[in-house]
Structure 1
């Protein structure tokens, strides 16, 4: 099986003779029409958002129980905190994971947790406890679980079925002397409004109008 996967470009041998995934799955995912449409309409909006709030922005979808970064833009500032395009992130460590999980029904959430794999009980419970608040607010805001001094802001993008198909997120760094910086509440409101606009362009609300 590994030989076939290598022949087809999905797996490669690293320098220490260990198997690792290539970016082939990432490329295949981008050829899927809904994802291609999402990245096509999100790029310009994300760059405008990054420029307005002076923060880096990334766009995530769920894939196999983890988050996949399918788009990323930087802000004009010299000091950046960005997430690598194509990165795979555990759902329990992220605001994006909370945003996407918060708008799932019980069956879909249970399936996501199964795909995500075993996790320490306290982290799983904290993740689940955060979801009602995220759903009620319509966004996730809180200290980064991986980096000190960073506030994660994330909001969902919905498609025409009303499903949250992606999350737009900024790992907001608190700059001390940048004239372009905006406060967290203002950055959050602009991010949420950007996601509402992207959702409309993805057809959100169309099913309810039929």
Structure 2
């Protein structure tokens, strides 16, 4: 009887080193210097010098010349957008977004988180565009000025939610407690439907696209025509259509829609 041979797992030290650096940067709200990075990954500055240079050359990290701090670029996110789960999200969302835009006669867009920012990954415009729209690929900061930002932050699992509340608080120059209170309100309402909170710069309604864990993987947003007051009946119609669209997309990706 032959004894099963033990297969040694091949090592890839350089790859491990690069992944350690990317993960360390992804875990930080702000940039890290070369020395700080070396400490985080348990290596010497000399050990990570060439790897950092290679990551910077390939566009995965960027170095701030004034602070010498390294941060992640959006390249990893752009690569991730080609990954099947994102394709699955877009496949589920685009037909629904087309119907939504046609029903409310306003543009709509889909946004996802990326660290301390959010990116628009899809947009749909009605035949006759009213109001305004944003370009796919546009990146915005996490701030209460944007409905998508508030919804993406509000519908995260607890630890991540608190982290994003702190980012919003810093960007808006308010306390983290106040930022969390605003996210609580949005969570209770099932989305952002307030246009008079004192912070919103772009008037918009927004709902989360929720996966099975209850986390928002995206925000479906309808920018409104800027005017002093939206008729109650019109506002209710837009909100109702948006809620229904978000529910359908959430169910398509296996999530539980928010009421």
Q: TM-score range by the shorter chain?
A: 0.7 to 0.9
RMSD, aligned CA: 2.9
Indicate conservation of the 8 Å contact 2:131/2:224, yes or no: no
Consecutive aligned runs of 4 or more in structure 1 exceeding 3 Å deviation: 1-12, 21-27, 113-118, 123-127
5+ long unaligned stretches in structure 2:
1-50, 63-71, 228-232
What is the count of residue pairs matched by the alignment?
189
Normalised to the residue count of structure 1, the TM-score between the two structures is 0.76
Residue 173 (structure 1) aligned with residue 228 (structure 2) = no
Matched residue, 1:131: 183
Indicate conservation of the 8 Å contact 1:71/1:85, yes or no: yes
Residue 199 (structure 1) aligned with residue 250 (structure 2) = yes
Indicate conservation of the 8 Å contact 1:69/1:87, yes or no: yes
Residue 161 (structure 1) aligned with residue 213 (structure 2) = yes
Residue 48 (structure 1) aligned with residue 99 (structure 2) = yes
5+ long unaligned stretches in structure 1:
13-20, 176-181, 206-210
Bigger Rg, structure 1 or 2: 2
Normalised to the residue count of structure 2, the TM-score between the two structures is 0.63
> Following the alignment from structure 2 to structure 1, what is the Cα–Cα distance between the partners of residues 74 and 184?
34
Q: 1:61 aligns with which of 103, 112, 127?
A: 112
Give the strand-richer structure, 1 or 2: 1
> Following the alignment from structure 1 to structure 2, what is the Cα–Cα distance between the partners of residues 116 and 110?
10
Alignment CA distance shift 1:2-1:50 (3 Å): farther
Alignment CA distance shift 1:106-1:10 (3 Å): closer
| Structure with greater contact order relative to length (CA < 8 Å, sep ≥ 6) | 1
